[in-house]
Amino acid sequence: MTQPLDSIASVLEGTGEYRVLRRVRPFVEYVDPPNEPTFIGLILDTETTGIDHARDEVIELGIIKFEYGASGRVYRVLETLNQLHEPSKPIPSEVTRLTGITDADVAGHRIDDAAVRAMAADAAVVIAHNASFDRQMCEGRWPIFAEKNWACSCHQVPWRDEGHEGMKLGYLLTDYGFFHNGHRAIDDCHALMALLAAPLRVSGRLALSCLLETARKPTVRIWAAGSPIATKDVLKARSYRWSGRRRCWYIDVEEERFEIECTFLSEEIFQREIQDLPTDRITARDRFSARTNPEN
């Protein structure tokens, strides 16, 4: 029935009065063999008992292992993993409402740690749609993820510049004419694979290529230590964030913007030349990790 239904959907769309959403389908392997260097990547998603990486637990892990080229083209899916895990405490009701995962679903299940390590062993990059959350949830349980380069498909692809109003996975899928079973780990992975393998709507670049280019660039975290209290609104307006632990404003910028930012701080914040502000250089090996969390 797929072909007749697709024909009906095309007729509806052709009227200009309807938009039809199609369910995300598994990635179709690229027909031609790679004509460029290829690498191994992982798309990863977790469902958890909460948002505190130090106390909450992963209750579902989904991973797609895939081969991609230096151009950002996805060639084939190599392996998938989708496993449930029974946590040490009952799953909170709000988590069940969001994910549909119940205590009965996870009873007696345990994620195979050895299988996870084997999948991650040769990965050049791990991609998640909220990498700062998924990386920190994974590193404590599977230390191999602390050794990997990570990329965030939510914040390291210029979705807004490409004509998207929202960056959530479901919103992006809708813009591309798809839907999926959200908030289940492997379904989110397949949805993200579909987005990363597709051309962006304005530039036409492959989304994965754009993501990897951004992820490879080192960034510098500048701490505006000792900034006058009266300048906090100016800093906030320039996207500085407050670290409660360090009691200090900070910003992450690409290396080429470092001098520009120092000039701004000298002229607008400190009103004097500054040369000794603390900085941290951050790469994909540490980015989104608990190691670079400004509250740690």
Domain containing residue 30: CATH number: 3.30.420.10
Minimal CA–CA distance to 156: which of 279, 284, 11, 6?
284
3-state helix, strand, coil in the chain (%, to 5): 35, 20, 45
Q: What is the predicted pLDDT for the residue at 205?
A: 97
- Would you state the structure tokens that stand for residue 11, as one six-digit string? 């007729």
Confidence class for position 45, pLDDT limits 50, 70, 90: very high
Contact 222, 265 (CB under 8 A): yes
Over residues 171-200, mean pLDDT: 95
Tokens of 58: 């992963």
Q: Which of 196, 216, 236 is the last residue of a domain?
A: 216
Instruction: Among 216, 251, 274, identify where a domain stops.
Output: 216
pTM, full prediction? 0.93
Q: 98 with 179, same domain?
A: yes
Residues 185 and 231 in one domain: no
Q: Which of 184, 216, 248 is the last residue of a domain?
A: 216
pLDDT value, residue 117: 98
Per-residue model confidence (pLDDT) at position 17: 93
For the beta carbon of residue 106, count every other beta carbon within 10 angstroms. Answer: 19
The pLDDT confidence band at residue 1, using thresholds 50, 70 and 90, is: low
Does residue 295 surpass a pLDDT of 90? no
Residue 269: domain span: 219-292
pLDDT tier at 262 (50, 70, 90 boundaries)? very high
pLDDT of residue 296 exceeding 90, the answer is: no
2 — pLDDT class (breaks 50, 70, 90) = low
What percentage of the chain reaches a pLDDT higher than 90? 91
DSSP-derived 3-state class of residue 209 = helix
Q: Per the structure, how many domains does the chain have?
A: 2
Do 138 and 41 lie in one domain? The reply is yes
